[in-house]
Every structure is written in C-alpha cells, then in structure tokens.
Chain A
Amino acid sequence: MDNILAKVLPQEGGLAGTSSGAYNAAIALSGLLALVGVAFGIHTFFIGHEHAYGVTRDVPWGLLIAAYVFFVVTSTGLCLVSSIGHVFGVKAFQPIAKRSVFLAIASIIAGFLVIAFEIENPWRMAIYNVISPNPTSNIWWMGTLYGAYLFFMLIEFALLQMEKHKQAGMFGLMGVIAGVAAHSNLGAVFGLLNGREFWHGPYMPIYFITSAMMSGCAAVIFFHWIAYKANGWKMSKELEESLQSVAKLGALLYVVIMFFTTWKVLSGITGQPPGKYEAMQAILTGPFAKNFWIGEIAMGLVIPFITILAVRARNLTALFFASASSVIGIFFMRYDLVVVGMLVPHFHGMDIVGQPHLYSYAPTLHEWMVTLGGIGLCVMLFLMGERMFRGHLSESH
C-alpha cells in the first residue's frame, strides 16, 4: 500500500503549493462547510426528511436532486473534456488532463455525498441495488454505472500519476463510456416519465450529455485559473493554449445549448401542448422567470459566450470570469430542470377545485446546508489536491 501511495503521490518535482495562511484558511473553511453540511444531513435522519426538507408528495424532488445533477454533470463533463487529450490523443487538450480527472473524481464524490442525504434509506440502496436489481430502472443503471465510472476514474488517475499514460488512456476510455452511459441514464430518469410532459422525450439524455460537455469546459477553466492564481504559479505556454482551446470548444457548446434551449422553448409553447405549456410558462413568465432569464440564459449562456468571443478566447482572466458566470448559471439550469418538471399538477386538465395552477416548492435550510456541504467538499478536495499532487503537472507535457 505504501508502495502504491509512494508511486501515486509525487514526492518532488511539479509545483510546490503555497503555504500561505489564506490558502490554509480556504481549505479549513471549505472543510468546515463540508462538515456542517454533513451535520445537517445527519440531523435530517433524526428529525425526518419530511420535516427537514421542503419536498412534498406533490414535488418529491428538490434542491438536493438538482445539486446532485449539478455535480455529476460537472464530473461527466470534466471527464469528457479531459478525455479529448489523453484518451483520444488531441495534443491541445493534454495539459489539462490530470487536474480535470482529479476534479471529476472530487465532484462525483461531492454528488454522492449530497444524494446520500437526499435518499431516505441509503443503507438499503447498498444492499438491494445488488441483490434486487431492476434492469428497467434508469435509476438503477445510473447508480451502478456511476459506481463503475468512479472506479475507472480512480484507477485512471492513479495510472496518470505513475506516468503510465497508455494504460491510463484505456481506463480513461472505460471511464468515458461508463460516464456517458451513466449520464444519459440520468437524463432518461427524467425523459422516460410519460406522465411528466415537461421532461418526457428523447431531449433529456441528449441535452444532459451536451450540457455536461459545456459544464466541463467551464469547470476546467474555472478550476485551473484558481489553482494557478491561489498558489502564485505561472502557467506554461502549453497550458495557456490548452485552456484557450477549451474555451473555444466551450463557445461551440454554448451555441449548441442555446440552439437546444430555443427549440425546447418553442416546442413547449407552440400549440400549447397540455402540461408542457404550463411548465414552460412558469419558466418564461412565471415564478421561475428570473432563474431562467438571468440565471440560465444571461449568466449560464450569453455572458460566457459573448465574453469568449470578445477576448477571442485569449485573455485567461476574462475566460475565468466567463466560466464562473457559467458555473453559477448551470446551477440554475439544473434547479429549474428538476423542479419545474414537477410543478404542473397531476390532474392538470381536469379543473380540480382547490388545485393550484402550479405546485410550489422552496428549499429549506437543511437542503441549502447539505448543498453547501457538497460544494465545500468539492472545493476542499480541489485545494488539497493541488498541494498533494503538486499542481497536477505531467512529465510528458
């Protein structure tokens, strides 16, 4: 074990992390946030989920499912974007590989932390997912494939550390396959529900994979910039160019998602399809309009896209702010996608007396704290990773 650790953890070379008080404080603070989140999560088991969380019979999924989706989308995206270089051999994407793979692992672990507190009986999942599997269930496939995905990514990361790039690439490919399969199944968890018009159809799995790539591009730039700024390192020319390439890919994906979103909206309002139309109105002009127009459209898509164009994908500081805006916007995308899909009442066509036009949901303190705990864990792992793996430098590039 020590032998393996010695191989995985670089003892010298690479970039020495800063030992500044601010950096230590950031690690401590994010760690504390993670602990507080876990404490709130454990508290939930004592007082009962129905008291701690804002989800109801009518709207059974809320902020925590959205946060889980956010983390696993980011993880899948990091995996996919990094694979362009070290799995599929595109040179321009190779310098970002190690850090991105590490972050993919960190963010999926944060996602698992959040989902563990969202699910009422996670211990039963560990048992019955294995001894009573349901092959028609997208949730089952997603959980199982994400387990495999994490396994492949961990091995890939260890092999990358040992500079065994060929074998790492193989495990990377398996990670990509498992990740794409898992992630499209997550889309299908929503998309194959015939009774939920807003979600139903092939759009969800396709959108999930595409927006994962987009999220991945934003996350790569976001975390690389912070890592180098916080530690006072200077980027190599190769890395700078690599991030610029990522930004260009990102620009393309922002356009693709804008295109997808445009047609999703138009198909939701044209002919006023029952169920879908009401949900779409909630987003366009209703209670979720601010989330949609400011969060999703402005912060998530338009601002980052225009910024990348304006600096011609060169100025890394500008690209960082574009990515930061996008990461925040993407969180709104996940939240709206999950919650709005359940807002239209089940018997919406029947004019039920006393039934609201739309159900309502608002996250509680516990849901927010568990979500922040997930973010804290992800940030802490990221900051510690920089130090432990000495800037994720690779000898070959």
Chain B
Amino acid sequence: MDIKELEKLQNEGTDSVTSSERRTFLKAGLAITGVFLGGSVLSLTSIRNAHGALGTMPEEAKKFPYSPHYSMVMRQNNCIDCERCKEACVATNHVPSYGYRTTILETQRPIGPKEMERIFVPVLCNQCNRPPCVRVCPTKATYKDKTTGIVMMDNKKCIGCKTCMAACPYNARYFNEETRAVDKCNFCFDTRLSKGEKLTACAAACPADVRVFGDLSDTSSRVYKLVHKPDKLVWVLRPETGALPNVFYMND
C-alpha cells in the first residue's frame, strides 16, 4: 500500500480497540522499554558500537588520509573459527608461542528462550587513525606510517616501558622477548605487502572470505564498497575510546 494513501485514511480512534488488546499492547511496550532500560539484551549485541560507527562517527574517521589507506573489513558472521588466519600469521611473522598478533574472540547472544547464537569476532591491531599507543610512546618506537597509515614498530627504539600495551584499547600488543620490543600486527607490511603481495597473510588464508583487506582511499576497492554499502550496519570495536580504528565489522 502506498504511504500517501495510508495518510488519507480516517483515524479509527481507540474506541474499537478491546481492553485486552490494549493491555497486550501496553505489556509489549513495557517489555520493550524494560529491555532498553536494563540494557542487558542490547549490550550483548554490538548495537552500541554499530551506532557509534554509523551515527556518531567523527568526521575525521570518514576521511581516509593515507594512500594506500590500508584497512580490513570483517564479514563477521562468516567466521567459523577455523583459526587458519592465526596459523598463517604465526608462520608469516614468526610470532612466538606466548604471543599473538591476531586472534578470534567468541561471544554469544540469546536468539530465543533457550537458544544461543555463537558469534566469532576476529581481532587484530586496528591501525587506528588516532592511535593511543603512538601518542604515549616516549621514544617514537611505535609510529603511524606516513604513507600507509599502518601503526609500525621501530624495534631498536623500544625501551620496554609497556605504556603502549596499557594504552591500547584492543589488547593488540605484547612484548616479544626475542626482539626485546613490543610486537604487533603491521598488516604484514614487512613480510608481504612490501614484497608485492596484495593481501595480509590472515586475509589470504581465510577460507570463508571473512577478512577483506584493501585500500580505503580507493573507491573501487572491495573494502571501500563494503564499508559504504547501503542498508548495511558497519561498526568498529570500542568506538568510545576515540581511537578511530581502521578495522570494520559487518554481517554479510
């Protein structure tokens, strides 16, 4: 039915609504507002984050100041936790057994009275546009690469104060005893991208097409198209910290 025709219809008033119907309506309203007030159901989902990415994302985050502006889009609901991304990362970047650069979190939410939905959330360094770790580093051992926007490490400058680890909202950093420096994901810059590869090891290894890697400043790139897809929720993790991450999440 056309919405304009709906407008022309006459208001039936509330007289024709039976009292039991009215009660049901009120109950539903109370239940819904109760859910909102309690917040328990909503906070299980990433609604707050989704809203953060869509509604209140600061202007700076919508610009892509680097070229190539590397970013990753997680098509989250495709993740089956096979962990091939983790294995590929370890093998490519010589990640020791006590550390990780990327991992997969598991969360769940109720989808019925007794039913739970499992959700896998791959995480890695968010290569933030306003990285807290870079701000706090006393010696510029960690820095934002001027070309690619990747948050890099200059190992020889790292004093091991671990302030970057305390500052990172995403737990993306660990201290590597072999290099005596904090280690983190750099989108495989030294091991793959600088050698002409187009994808990170994790993105290349993903069999479910979860991790989409590319250049956000290129409007024809897949990451650009995914982030700007109409009618799709795109969100980031912990938007309230103001770090302006470059890893985006969506359900495909």
Q: Which of A's residues lie within 8 Å of B, judged by CB?
A: 48-50, 55, 57-58, 60-61, 119-122, 124-125, 128-129, 132-134, 136-140, 143, 189, 192-196, 342, 346-347, 349-355
User: Are A140 and B158 neighbours in the complex by a CB distance under 8 Å?
Assistant: no
* Chain B positions within 8 Å of A48 at CB level: 177
What DSSP secondary structure best describes chain A's contact surface? Answer: loop
* Chain A positions within 8 Å of B137 at CB level: 134, 137, 139
How many contacts A-B (CB < 8 Å)?
136
A235 CB, nearest partner CB in chain B, Å: 43
Interface residues on B, range: 35 or more
User: Are B166 and A61 neighbours in the complex by a CB distance under 8 Å?
Assistant: yes
Given the known interface contacts A60-B165, A129-B139, A195-B241, the answer about A351 and B171 at a Cβ–Cβ threshold of 8 Å is no
User: Are B241 and A351 neighbours in the complex by a CB distance under 8 Å?
Assistant: no
Over the window 100-141 of chain B, the binary record of Cβ atoms lying under 8 Å from chain A Cβ atoms (1 yes, 0 no) is: 000001111100000000000101000000001001111111
B236 CB, nearest partner CB in chain A, Å: 13
Over the window 232-244 of chain B, the binary record of Cβ atoms lying under 8 Å from chain A Cβ atoms (1 yes, 0 no) is: 0000011011110
Give bound CA distance, A134 to B135, whole Å. 8
User: Are A195 and B168 neighbours in the complex by a CB distance under 8 Å?
Assistant: yes
Given the known interface contacts A57-B99, A140-B139, A351-B108, the answer about A124 and B171 at a Cβ–Cβ threshold of 8 Å is no
Q: Which of B's residues lie within 8 Å of A, judged by CB?
A: 43-44, 46, 48, 98-99, 105-109, 121, 123, 132, 135-141, 156-163, 165-171, 173-175, 177, 180-181, 237-238, 240-243
Given the known interface contacts A121-B158, A121-B180, the answer about A346 and B169 at a Cβ–Cβ threshold of 8 Å is yes
Give bound CA distance, A129 to B243, whole Å. 25
Give bound CA distance, A57 to B162, whole Å. 9
* Chain B positions within 8 Å of A352 at CB level: 105-107
B244 CB, nearest partner CB in chain A, Å: 11
Give bound CA distance, A139 to B138, whole Å. 6
Give bound CA distance, A355 to B106, whole Å. 9
User: Are A121 and B160 neighbours in the complex by a CB distance under 8 Å?
Assistant: yes
B185 CB, nearest partner CB in chain A, Å: 14
From A196, which residue of chain B is reached at the shortest CB distance? B166
From B108, which residue of chain A is reached at the shortest CB distance? A353
Extra contacts besides A60-B166, A120-B158, A347-B171 (9): CB < 8 Å: A121-B181, A124-B156, A125-B159, A128-B138, A133-B138, A134-B139, A193-B166, A346-B169, A352-B106
Jot down 14 A-B pairs with beta carbons below 8 A, ordered by A. A124-B157, A132-B157, A136-B135, A137-B137, A137-B163, A139-B161, A140-B139, A189-B136, A195-B241, A346-B169, A346-B171, A349-B48, A350-B121, A352-B106
From B172, which residue of chain A is reached at the shortest CB distance? A346
User: Are B175 and A120 neighbours in the complex by a CB distance under 8 Å?
Assistant: yes
* Chain B positions within 8 Å of A50 at CB level: 98, 175, 177
